[in-house]
Chains A and B, each alone.
Chain A
Amino acid sequence: MTLDFSRNLDYFWALLPEIVLSVWAMVVLVAGVSGRHRPGQRTDSEGDPDFGQGATLGWLALAGILVAGFFNGWLYGVTEVGHTSMIAVDHFRLFANWIFLLAGALAILISFSYVYRQRLQVGEFYGLILLAITGMMFMAAARDLIVIFLGLEVMSISVYALTAFNRRDRKSGEAGLKYFLLGAFSTGFLLYGIALVYGATGSTNVVAIGASVANGTARTGLLTVGIALLTIGFAFKVSAVPFHMWTPDVYEGAPAPVTAFMSAAVKAAAFVAFLRVFLVGFDAATTYDIWYPIMWWLAAITMVVANLIALVQSNVKRMLAYSSIAHAGYLLVALTAANATAAAGMLFYLLVYTLMNIGAFAVVIAVSHQSEERLQIEDYAGFGWSNPLLGVLLTIFLLSLAGFPGTGGFMGKIYLLQGAADSGLWVLSVILVLSTMVSYWYYLRVAWFMWMREPVSEGQHDLVTAPLPMRLALVASVALILYMGIFPSSALGFAQASVHGLGSLGGGLLGLRP
């Protein structure tokens, strides 16, 4: 099927996964409020003892993700006429969609028991996750800065609400307020950047911007300020240093499944949009000279600072927050490199990162008794010997986050380094390797506590449970991580095919720097 966007109806076909998902989110929402069982009235004797009545809605939301995934797969058979429309129908978008759908599915699977124990309103919770995924998919699909802005806001507003979701918990509200204020603040910068880029080039279409920049009609002054402001806006969303101040607090205060979801998926969405705007819109050599130094320093500072601060964290959720900032630094290296290898490496890394990060958070949720307690590193003392299976899984996730050979995280870093080497970013590559070595310390410290320390008290880990949906998520992520670590070529080939043709129309960096 070929889509010609001069026929307006064809936008419907191009947006089918998004449409399905947003309608499904409404259905989940309505089903949630119209259910007979309100969270407050529920007793433990009703429904499944692990998740009560909320499980039905959880499975319903998962079904929605499956259906959206089906249409996402269907889009592989669809081509577009010209590659300039507002909505892109290319494999880059579809690969990114797989990441978001996977992250959403895993986040829903690990939150079944959590939302029940915390007595959260399930309908709204799952509905908001689906809406956030819709926004992310719009960001991946957008070839227009305004669509990126709308997708970003659909995603962000859902995630603000999710962060503040636990109204009984002060921390959650505080994290929500902080995330909301700083997120909206950064959106202001992003939007002003869009306005200035529009003023400089006369268009908000990324391809048209690329063309205007390449033939030199863009006004350099406005464009430079616009690019700087866009970078600030995106850097906030991917939580790069020095725009990371909100990240540790928000990740610590938000409900744990939400933290897992947003540390993986929100970052992935921001990076995907970041990549498309900068590699398609601002890829002319003159523009690259403007943003290359900014990006270089952002990447370098992010990697160094985040890894150093992570060393001294005693709260595991906070440690993982700094780890997620550090991973944003690694991904910024790929963005600085701005070539096809790095772009494919970034997609591969985002996929692996989603799996290993949500996996690690799943075990953290299990250890914290499906609530917000027992998050200090001492609470992991002797955990490995009392729950060998979960212990081994968490060890694998941590090793993968650190980049240990044999795991997907290692292959991901190799591809990022390869992309950096292709552009001759030697100093940045060295910083990446050195900061990775530093990161081994704080990841392995948790593993050390798990396996080498005696439990603080008798029966400390007796109440740790991992219900069936969580086990499904854990098994799926660990299997994929090991598969991508040992046989990386299929996933990498898929990623490389996905970035093929991404920047071909701008005729810039992706073509010039193979």
Chain B
Amino acid sequence: MVVASMILSALLFVVGTLGVLIRRNAIIMFLSIELQLNAVNLAFVALSRVWGIEGQIFVFFVMTVAAAEAAVGLAIIISIFRHYETVNVNNFNLLKW
């Protein structure tokens, strides 16, 4: 059970990583990052079957932080959307990406 969950979490993490690397839409990239964080959450929950309740508590911290990050991140995306009217990072060209 633990091994299966860890493999699933690794797969989710890889999907998230590839999403950030391949997709060019800022919102989708951000969604992929959230997927990474949720992969970590799954790993923590799975591992807490072995090591006790600690892991499950961390999940709450991670979720809280992810929410705070989402607030700031979406605000930044909105503020840049006002300048460019797009969220595709290929169109942001003042700085070299």
Contact = CB atoms under 8 A, between A and B. Distances in A.
Interface in B1-46: 6, 9, 13, 16-17, 20, 26, 29-30, 33, 36-37, 39-40, 43-44
Nearest to B13: A192
Contact of A171 (B6, B26, B65, B95): B95
A192 B40 contact: yes
B62 interface: yes
Contact of A202 (B44, B50, B84, B94): B50
A161 B72 contact: yes
Contacts, number: 122
Interface in A179-212: 180-181, 184-185, 187-189, 191-192, 194-196, 198-199, 202-204
B65 A253 contact: no
A362 to B, nearest CB: 23
B92 A191 contact: no
Interface string B47-87: 10011101100100110010011001101110110111000
Interface string A252-263: 110000000000
B80 A195 contact: no
Contact of A167 (B29, B52, B79, B94): B79
Contact of A253 (B30, B40, B77, B94): B94
A205 to B, nearest CB: 10
Contact of B94 (A174, A195, A196): A174
Contacts of B69: 153, 157, 184, 187
A176 interface: yes
For chain A, the bracket of interface size reads: 35 or more
A327 interface: no
Contacts of B97: 178, 249
Most buried by A among B55, B58, B76: B76
A196 B43 contact: yes
B13 A176 contact: no
Contacts of B40: 188, 191-192, 194-195
A153 B76 contact: no
A491 to B, nearest CB: 35
B94 A180 contact: no
Nearest to A191: B40
Nearest to B74: A180
A146 B65 CA distance: 11
B79 A188 contact: no
A164 B47 contact: no
A175 interface: yes
Contacts of A167: 79, 82
Nearest to A196: B43
B44 to A, nearest CB: 5
A167 B82 CA distance: 9
Contact of B47 (A153, A189, A199, A253): A199
A199 B72 contact: no
Contact of B36 (A170, A173, A188): A188
Most buried by B among A167, A191, A196: A191
Contacts of B51: 198-199, 202-203
B72 A160 contact: yes
A14 B20 CA distance: 39
Contact of B62 (A171, A175, A189, A191): A191
A26 interface: no
B75 to A, nearest CB: 8
B16 A198 contact: no
Contacts of B33: 181, 184-185, 188
Given A150-B65, A157-B69, A161-B72, 10 more contacts: A160-B73, A161-B75, A170-B83, A173-B79, A178-B89, A180-B72, A181-B33, A192-B39, A192-B43, A204-B58
10 contacts: A146-B61, A161-B76, A174-B80, A177-B89, A188-B16, A189-B36, A191-B36, A191-B62, A195-B40, A199-B50
Interface of A: 146, 149-150, 153, 157, 160-161, 164, 167, 170-171, 173-178, 180-181, 184-185, 187-189, 191-192, 194-196, 198-199, 202-204, 248-250, 252-253
Q: Which 9 A-B pairs have the closest CB atoms?
A: A188-B36, A249-B95, A173-B80, A195-B43, A202-B51, A199-B47, A191-B40, A153-B65, A184-B33
